[in-house]
Structure 1
């Protein structure tokens, strides 16, 4: 977080009772998520599609495609950490968001080029751009509110609605174009969506005021040194990407995904350890940091199930689900916009529940809310086990209501966990580490994304027969972690240092 005064007034309630800068961030995030989820809905389908016939894909195996999907999702969220560091120390959060949006747009347009060799280059650009944008735009949301502003949690929930409106548009437009006309048309539509996001942010950035405008104060010599090493890192990354594009680097995707999951986990715990031991935090800040560590672990587990939507559940929809509606075969990706639709419907309800419970001093603690989210995730995969058993019994495609019910339950879990987690990491991040703490929040998404790819590949490796054992394993670890969170909440093991807050 920059060392600057936030000019946001507590009486600024222009946008649904919230600061006017929220409208700029709302629509920027909406278009970015339209491009991200629209492209992601096509990713595994494109990689596993037949290489001949209408709309040919890459023809890769489920194990390979799901692993690459997991690596991509993991990389997207892992790069939020260096993106947060760059914003905190060199760019400021506002400039980082602008630069990230432009790079994302270029990445999607690269994917739209109908040449297989540009596939990984496009993914790399989207990864780098998202690393600059994703965590930093969430950081700016938090900086719109002064400390103690009771609107903060509700503000993040409104912001979260923008994510789901954008993903709804992405599934609707990109899935139809990609599946019905051509994969690269869908990728191009994602780029056009991000183009609108760039324009919107450019013209309405002034509404943000000073929130996230400047990086942390530091000696000019230190800033110059950081800039030098940042440029060196970009050159090295460009060289690695070029070697990969020209076939000089060949990697076993699944082995890489396994090692990447271990690496991300080590990075996460190591950074928490660094903050505890060497960041000079006081007792209250360390107490807050322990709370965030608990939420970090739970969030990683949650996303390993949630990110099955564009992986194993997408393939289940393609291979084992009847997608006909009135004689028309709907795009596979259209099933996924059940989630953003349900979020738009239920987000105000959840926001109202938390606000009401807070007013009467009965708001559940953060660990308890996360336990509720994981409980819903476990329940969703119980539904899927019944769906798999039915598909095996009738040996024919089953109704799409099974997936819709699954997405509904997962949405309830998402609303209990994700916007609440964003709020917690904004509220309890140590001073001068806000951007990097958001990076850790998204690192949990990275770990979950890689695990989603690995678990999805295992589930689909042998068709229907291999799905249930993997889903049963996932249910078990969701339940175990949820029970642990309930115990932590009951014993008060992870409480914030703010006596006015329940943690």
Structure 2
């Protein structure tokens, strides 16, 4: 194979093209679709279930529910740092995905138990599995394209659509099962949310198992590491070390967890810098640019991830969802973001390509993401100060549009971030770099839980507490977005032509 068909020193097979992209992209698309169905299928129900099941339905349970939800999300993404290392150094990418899928399915089924201990054990099991699955399948998308292939960004955007199609239908189906098939609107049977999500994860496992031959060797274990004993060792460590560790971290104070996550971020960051220095000054500069972007990524997700916590309580208590005799189901708000992503993703993917040389730089795309996120909080500020009716409710359309505006920001940032990481990472530690990307999201997610807990306060969310919290969110997001625009030329220089 000629040098033209070589990326990062490794040959890329000749793939059949489907709709202008390598055929395995669509297999990875569907595997991620079912995994995201499982992940987002439980998102709408978690904080409501925790308050109802473990706090007797009292509003004082909102703060600990938000913090547990934030900790779970944080650890789901923090686990990616270990998964990246396991895939890079021990068992290869394909086996990491398969083992991770098994752990995630088992954890989702455990959530159906009504006891708090087993519930948290289920969360810990999902965290272990997600660490082995999530960063690896994203990294494999990048390995389908040559470095410099202009289709890479649009390929990641298509992959991101798979995430969002799964996320769109998940709350509708799981909500229907919980409220209409096995329960009622007043007494939803949440265990069916978790069971149906577990079935979705099994489908993801099966899809990848039968479709992995399309990869033509990409992601197989390195020479000399093909033995199944390594897979058994990873599974044993997950059971004996990973699950107990993450269970413990789910039970500690959210601020203490934040300190641990911050310290944990430093370790892979230093490893990436060292590897960058070894590869030369260009690789070193790219690592520095990537790490600066990661810091702004933390701020984005801190406020974006109110969707599963404070926005859920906002929708339940302060948003007018009544349309005559019909009430808009609370869980459907979780699908709005996905509908917006599915609708807008092809448009924005086309737009980035169409803009050509005037395409905004990666730092400025991130800046736009932060600013759009901030504009969503501006709308909430106005609604909570100017549009509250006599019943203490704000109009339905305001929260609906918050999700849409945030979706525009997400499309400016998240799929571009995945692609950026595969472009800027040192070649030998691409999985670790993707794990570091997800760790930055983890830090933001734990901060999201802490922030949501403060919005609710000790006695539950009010119009006043929501207005004060979301006002802070607006200024933090817009201020950081403007700052990123100002320093974008410096970051772009460090990227050495990567766009």
TM-score, normalised on structure 1?
A: 0.89
Q: CA deviation at 1:374?
A: 0.3
Q: CA deviation at 1:148?
A: 1.9
1:385 and 2:349 matched? no
Q: CA deviation at 1:229?
A: 8.8
Q: CA deviation at 1:134?
A: 0.4
Q: CA deviation at 1:176?
A: 2.7
- Match 1:208 to one of 197, 215, 218: 215
Q: Distance in 1 between matches of 2:270 and 2:304?
A: 28
> Secondary structure of 1:474's match?
helix
Residue 95 (structure 1) aligns with = 95
Kindly indicate whether the alpha-carbon contact (under 8 Å) linking 2:165 and 2:342 is maintained by their aligned counterparts in 1.
yes
Structure 2 residues not aligned, in runs of 5+: 1-6, 184-188
Kindly indicate whether the alpha-carbon contact (under 8 Å) linking 1:91 and 1:214 is maintained by their aligned counterparts in 2.
yes
Distance 1:151 1:397, change over 3 A: same
Kindly indicate whether the alpha-carbon contact (under 8 Å) linking 2:24 and 2:215 is maintained by their aligned counterparts in 1.
yes
Distance 1:42 1:286, change over 3 A: same
Residue 261 (structure 1) aligns with = 258
- Equivalent runs, 1:285-300 vs 2, <5 Å: 285-300=283-298
Q: Distance in 2 between matches of 1:175 and 1:129?
A: 24
- Match 1:407 to one of 403, 408, 430: 403
Distance 1:124 1:57, change over 3 A: farther
1:106 and 2:106 matched? yes
Q: CA deviation at 1:214?
A: 2.5
Q: Distance in 2 between matches of 1:344 and 1:282?
A: 40
Q: Deviations over 1:207-257 (max 9, x none)?
A: 122222224x67999x9999869855742345557xx6xxxx79865xx21
TM-score, normalised on structure 2?
A: 0.90
Q: Deviations over 1:39-60 (max 9, x none)?
A: 12110111122779xxx86986
Number of equivalenced pairs: 482
Residue 3 (structure 2) aligns with = none
1:273 and 2:270 matched? yes
Kindly indicate whether the alpha-carbon contact (under 8 Å) linking 2:8 and 2:147 is maintained by their aligned counterparts in 1.
no
> Secondary structure of 2:119's match?
helix
Residue 17 (structure 2) aligns with = 13
Q: Deviations over 1:410-443 (max 9, x none)?
A: 0000000000000000111101111010001111
Q: Deviations over 1:83-103 (max 9, x none)?
A: 011000111111111111121
Q: Distance in 2 between matches of 1:128 and 1:83?
A: 8
Distance 1:232 1:212, change over 3 A: closer
Structure 1 residues not aligned, in runs of 5+: none
Distance 1:59 1:131, change over 3 A: farther
Root-mean-square deviation (Å)? 2.7
Distance 1:188 1:231, change over 3 A: closer
Q: Distance in 2 between matches of 1:421 and 1:270?
A: 20
